[in-house]
Amino acid sequence: MTVRSLTSWTASEAPDPFETELRLTSATVRLWNAFAPLDPELRRWGLAIGLVHPYQAGEACFANEEVAVVVSGCLSLDAPGSDLTADLLGPGDVLAAGGPRTASGRWITDGELYCVDMEAWIETVGAEGVAHLLAAVERRRMGLERRILCASTHRATARVADLFLAIHEASPGPAIALSQERLGEMLGLRRTTVNGSCRALETGGASRTRRGQIRIVDEALLAQAACGCRAALPARLADLSVSA
């Protein structure tokens, strides 16, 4: 059997998953988990035809006319024509699904992005893979609707806590590298409002903010302070009833 690492293939060059032995690496395992909603055989196809790109916190990320899925880390997705954040993406979330528009964002933490040509994805992964992408688009729509409702009904501190919790769950680590100015842009809040919310969470023992870094002190207290809007969305694409 031929041993291959994670490399990029055209549709015509895609190897037979039963004739290709993928080298087991930590990146391979993370990618396998990112495609958890898919059948194991289809996930093996995905590992064979795609390419994983590493990114560092703060780097810009662009995807266009291809399938792009977050393997690890957390990034904020831009809203076209606005400085606001359209969505917060973590492992398994789809950044782009072959559309004509460029999807862009900025990494909040170090991360990895899986990319593959849309034609190769359709030809090798098939209808279930397309349904997986459609479910991701539906989840993003639901998330945007919930965030609009959240902005009009929940206090700033609850929204800030919810964002902290979502980032921490997507990429657990000792600290989140985000300035209060950036937090305000992501949530559509003034910096003074963000500052007050951070102080309230620190007083309550949930988190601590120092020089552009947020440290989660007590995850349970943070969850109590959060509005819970992001957690209310389906955790897995398989939970959405979207058919190809």
Q: What are the tens digits of pLDDT across the range 66-107? A: 888 888 888 888 766 655 666 788 888 888 777 777 888 889
Question: What pLDDT was estimated at residue 234?
Answer: 57
Share of the chain above pLDDT 90, in %: 18
Residues 109-147 have pLDDT tens digits of 889 998 888 888 888 888 888 887 778 778 777 777 777
Confidence of residue 5 (pLDDT cuts 50, 70, 90): very low
Share of the chain above pLDDT 70, in %: 81
Question: What pLDDT was estimated at residue 157?
Answer: 95
Domain at 134, CATH number: 2.60.120.10
Domain boundary among 88, 116, 142: 142
Q: What secondary structure letter does DSSP report for 116? A: E
Question: What pLDDT was estimated at residue 178?
Answer: 85
Task: Please report whether residue 118 resides in a domain.
Answer: yes
Task: Please report whether residue 221 resides in a domain.
Answer: yes
Are 46 and 111 members of one domain? Answer: yes
Residues 19-30 have pLDDT tens digits of 444 444 677 778
- Radius of gyration over every alpha carbon of the chain, rounded to an integer in angstroms: 19
Strands 20-22 and 2-4: parallel
How many domains does the chain divide into?
Answer: 2
* More confident call, 151 vs 70: 70
Q: What secondary structure letter does DSSP report for 206? A: S
Are 77 and 161 members of one domain? Answer: no
Alpha helices in the chain (DSSP H): 26-34, 40-49, 118-153, 156-170, 180-187, 191-203, 219-225
Query: Whole domain around residue 201: which residue ranges?
Result: 155-225
Question: What pLDDT was estimated at residue 238?
Answer: 43
Question: What pLDDT was estimated at residue 232?
Answer: 67
Question: What pLDDT was estimated at residue 86?
Answer: 66
Question: What pLDDT was estimated at residue 84?
Answer: 60
Q: Are 112 and 27 in contact (CB under 8 A)?
A: yes
Domain at 190, CATH number: 1.10.10.10
Are 40 and 109 members of one domain? Answer: yes
Domain boundary among 142, 176, 204: 142
Pick the closest to residue 159 from 190, 117, 132 (CA basis).
Answer: 190
Domain boundary among 116, 142, 168: 142
* More confident call, 183 vs 240: 183
What's the token pair of residue 100?
Answer: 């004509």
Question: What pLDDT was estimated at residue 207?
Answer: 93
Q: Are 54 and 115 in contact (CB under 8 A)?
A: no
163: exposed, middle or buried (Cβ count in 10 Å: 0-12, 13-18, 19+): buried
